Structure 1
Amino acid sequence: MAFPVDLRRCQALGLAGTAFLALGGETAGALPTHDFLAPGSVRAVLGLVGVYFGVVLLIAAWVLLGGVVRGPEPPTVRSLLLVLAVWAAPLLLAPPLFSRDVYSYLAQGAMVDAHIDVYAYGPARLGGPLADEVAPVWQQTATPYGPVFLVVASVLSALTRGQIPAGLLGMRLVALLGVALMAAALPRLARHSGADPAAALWLGALNPLVLLHLVAGAHNDAIMLGLLGVGLVAARGRWPVLGVVLITLAALVKAPAALGLLAVVALRSRGRGRRALLRSTAVTTAVAVATTVVATAVAGTGYGWIAALKTPVSPHNWSPTSLLGRGTGALLRHLGSGLAPFALPAWHAAGLVATAALLLFIWLRLRPGPVYALGLSLAAVAVFGPAVRPWYALWGLFLIAAAAPSGSVRARVAAASAVLALTVLPSGAPADGEQVILAVCGGALALVVLWQAHQAARPQRLGRERTA
């Protein structure tokens, strides 16, 4: 984009983007059922167009800000944190966007508060208005989340007394806390890894995926990544035991964060020989086990979360292994084979094997820095796991942003982020042709506005060049 760009213009453009997101979400977001509008209604159409108009403005602001960060006078970390706060502000009171998972979180918290085993029953067991908001595919599904997150959800349920608006605001505040922890950890991890703190903050915290899915979507991945980030900061500093505790707590929100314990072992033993490696492994394991036992006892939810990790994924999930499994199953059914039902489980198992092989390669053969190795490992888990959502990309992206050794890696990750930001409808529902067309129209309208701004700036720029 060739019109004049500075930090203030990027901040204003991104604010316009998230403001349109919030306004459009009022009629096209993941609304409570009593506020739901028919997809073809005028307000819903305008809302969907407005959301994607805002998404494209936000992506453009982020890309332009990346140029400022790479420029001759990059902004300070404090300036970028202010930009993040400004961009996130309109989303604070917006309805949930791009997913209905936050309703599941609230229902699970209410179940814990009501002493219903969330590892044995789905939200349908709770019943009532809150359970009715949960997507049908998850009504009978046990939760895969750990006891730390369930304690948070249960406390929110008790504080809000089942009131949905208050619960939604509470979950968003929890997500914002997670994003704040991420933003605090990124510059420190970047300095330790020899990377540019401003560039790390731009890619890992100001990323549109963070704003769209962790803030607007209020996903619990935010608190997982926030605890993981500050745990790594503590582990590489003077508080390794505290680091292990925080990373274990992150894993007791969502299990993938447990890979962070490998990074702790590597950070504390790198270059110190086998004895240091064994000692670090033993201490890390002991502290992690103790933290798990204490946290689970305090939560009172038991160890059902271990078995619940096998919770089935959505049948329409678009992870590579699920796509291959469905395709193989369809082919086998067409051929009349009785092996068709085994195709999907077989591909999921192959994905687990591929993930394990990649982890061994990363840690034993590739041997990058511990933080970067962890980012690559979490990316592998997200890609080859049985379920993929756009916000899962943030698992690895967050740490790759902090420790990527080259600008080319960051450029590819940034390009993937921009594409993923456009892949989900604001209602969180599966897309149909009409909604896709409306979304494209909203994005195209934003591109027209940006082009007009570029054209309007050309005479001014040419005039300055002639004067010079």
Structure 2
Amino acid sequence: MTAAMQESITTTETLRRLAIHGAAASALVTIASWGIGWFPRNQFSPLARTGFFIEFRTEAIGVIACIALMAAGLAWMTRCWLLLRPLVAPTERVNTRQIARLLTAWCAPLLLAFPILSRDVYAYLAQGRLLHAGRSPYAEGVSTIPGWFDAGADGLWAQSLSPYGPIFVSLSRFIHFISGGIPEIGVLLLRVAAIAGLIGCFHYLKVLCAKLGYNAGWTLWAVLCSPLFLLTMVGGAHNDGLMLAAIFAAFARAADGRWVRASFALSVAVAIKPIALILLPFVGLLMLAADARRTERLVMWVKLGVVTLLWLLMYGAVSGLWFGWLPAMFTAGSAAFPYAPVGLLGWLGALATNALGGNGDLVQTVVVLVFELCGLLLVFKLAIAERVARPLRAAAWALSAVVLLAPIIQPWYILWLFALFALDRDVSWRAERLMVQISSLILLAVFVDQLSIEQWHVIWLMRVFAALLGLLLFLHLLYRDRAIAGWFNAPHPPD
């Protein structure tokens, strides 16, 4: 038997083990979600009346067991992810079809999970219900419909306007309608949509890597196989995967020089999450020479902008929402997330101003506006730089500026940035290790923050237990696990 054949057999056996272990870890997370995932309680929910699930949530031993299972599942999935790393770079020992099979095995158990790491999926359904009732989610919050809180939406959405585009809001309306208001069916259908986003990301990342001459295996590993991505996109049924799939499609079409198709894909991304609009200049730059004159860039941007606008006009007309999402984009300051630096600064400024008898809301609005303008200024400077040899890297920095200077930052937004930075041939080993460390830290933080625990338990004590257990497991994984720690902490990537 030749060395190549032996290596192929070894790789196949390793992939088989990783598929089994990853699926088992995902199953642990799913079982844990029955006790600490987000659970709907409205009158349409059949599971809310099922004693089987109640036992997981009402008894302290059940909650503690689910916390332990979830922490173990997160660490185990991360271990599977890291064990896959030596197979994808520097030589591609696995092909994209094998990675697709792994992803299928790792995601399948999550179809049966209650939403984890976030309950935004219930807000999607509430906004769809609001639209179905003939009201615009761009004009009023979900608190205007009865029973919105019992259906599972976070109180943050009570008065907040929808930050999503007309395609996604219309999809939420359709899913609410065909689910008959039953939250479990609605969550399942939105999770199917999230999986469609994952499939779209996989396809267009593979296409884009082929066009740019990048290592598709490593890129798919870094972006899609990450537990943070899988558990937030599939486990949490988020819409970010759909947006990212459309963004990758836009860049893939731009790499072909097909600007009309690129504008269509970009318009779909914007109509899911409007923040994607800031990438328009960089989609155009990908179709031009690195030293293209500014007049050439302007012509390309105008063409892309006009056609993208026409697509968005069509979506607005069909949905009846038109451009209601535009003013809604600029009201995020009223729902500032205190964990975002700008949101925290605005909140503290408002507190101090109110204490002095001033207008705190005005101060918060001004702080938010100043930093948002700074973010847009950085996007502008990146787009008009004299030479843009790496438009994808420039796009990653532009998106980073807008995200990090926004008044609200959700933990999974970091996935947008990782996705674009990973589309670069020169990602250093230090940067790659930092990506793993940040992903693990965010995964652990969101796990602790988003535990759904009934109020009669000692919630702070449960969170401390979850944090300590999760921290110990991840520290052991990254720095003590014999199969990982040696190469992960080495000065050079694995051979």
The AA in structure 1 aligned to 2:138 is Y
* Structure 2 counterpart of 1:400: 421
Quote the offset at 1:449 in angstroms: 9.4
Residues 422-458 of structure 1, C-alpha deviations (whole Å, 9 max, x = no match) = 111378369953132221354367569979x96899x
CA contact (8 A) 2:36 2:451 kept: no
SS in 1 for 2:392: helix
CA, structure 1 residues 281+326, in 2 after alignment: closer, same or farther (shift >3 Å)? closer
SS in 2 for 1:119: coil
SS in 1 for 2:286: helix
Quote the offset at 1:149 in angstroms: 0.6
CA distance in 2, matches of 1:448, 1:427: 19
1:270 paired residue among 262, 275, 289: 289
CA distance in 2, matches of 1:419, 1:362: 29
Quote the offset at 1:169 in angstroms: 0.5
Quote the offset at 1:240 in angstroms: 2.3
CA distance in 2, matches of 1:44, 1:329: 38
* Structure 2 counterpart of 1:465: none
CA distance in 2, matches of 1:455, 1:353: 48
- How does the TM-score come out when normalised to structure 2? 0.82
Quote the offset at 1:74 in angstroms: 2.8
The AA in structure 2 aligned to 1:183 is F
2:435 paired residue among 396, 399, 413: 413
CA distance in 2, matches of 1:320, 1:27: 32
Quote the offset at 1:238 in angstroms: 5.4
Quote the offset at 1:328 in angstroms: 4.6
Gaps of 5+ in 1: 458-468
* Structure 2 counterpart of 1:305: 325
Residues 157-179 of structure 1, C-alpha deviations (whole Å, 9 max, x = no match) = 22212121111100000011111
CA-based RMSD of the aligned residues comes to: 3.0
CA contact (8 A) 1:193 1:371 kept: no
CA, structure 1 residues 410+337, in 2 after alignment: closer, same or farther (shift >3 Å)? farther
CA contact (8 A) 2:448 2:466 kept: no
CA distance in 1, matches of 2:216, 2:483: 34
1:282 paired residue among 294, 299, 302: 302
SS in 2 for 1:30: coil
Q: Does 1:156 align with 2:175?
A: yes
* Structure 2 counterpart of 1:13: 21
- After the TM superposition, which of the residue ranges 5-14 and 407-416 deviates more from structure 2? 5-14
Residues 299-333 of structure 1, C-alpha deviations (whole Å, 9 max, x = no match) = 11232211111334545530111223334555667
CA distance in 1, matches of 2:170, 2:414: 26
Quote the offset at 1:45 in angstroms: 2.0
The AA in structure 2 aligned to 1:134 is A
1:219 paired residue among 232, 238, 260: 238
CA, structure 1 residues 254+237, in 2 after alignment: closer, same or farther (shift >3 Å)? same
The AA in structure 2 aligned to 1:302 is W
Q: Does 1:198 align with 2:217?
A: yes
1:248 paired residue among 250, 253, 267: 267
The AA in structure 1 aligned to 2:78 is I
The AA in structure 2 aligned to 1:410 is E
* Structure 2 counterpart of 1:137: 156
CA, structure 1 residues 134+295, in 2 after alignment: closer, same or farther (shift >3 Å)? same
Q: Which has the higher contact order (CA 8 A, sep 6+)?
A: 1
CA contact (8 A) 1:91 1:216 kept: yes
Quote the offset at 1:129 in angstroms: 6.2
Q: Does 1:60 align with 2:87?
A: no
CA distance in 2, matches of 1:189, 1:250: 16
CA, structure 1 residues 210+450, in 2 after alignment: closer, same or farther (shift >3 Å)? closer
CA, structure 1 residues 231+395, in 2 after alignment: closer, same or farther (shift >3 Å)? same
CA, structure 1 residues 306+447, in 2 after alignment: closer, same or farther (shift >3 Å)? closer
CA distance in 2, matches of 1:51, 1:387: 27
Would you say how many aligned residue pairs link Structure 1 and Structure 2?
452
CA distance in 2, matches of 1:231, 1:379: 19
% same residue: 25
* Structure 2 counterpart of 1:168: 187
* Structure 1 counterpart of 2:31: 23
SS in 1 for 2:326: helix
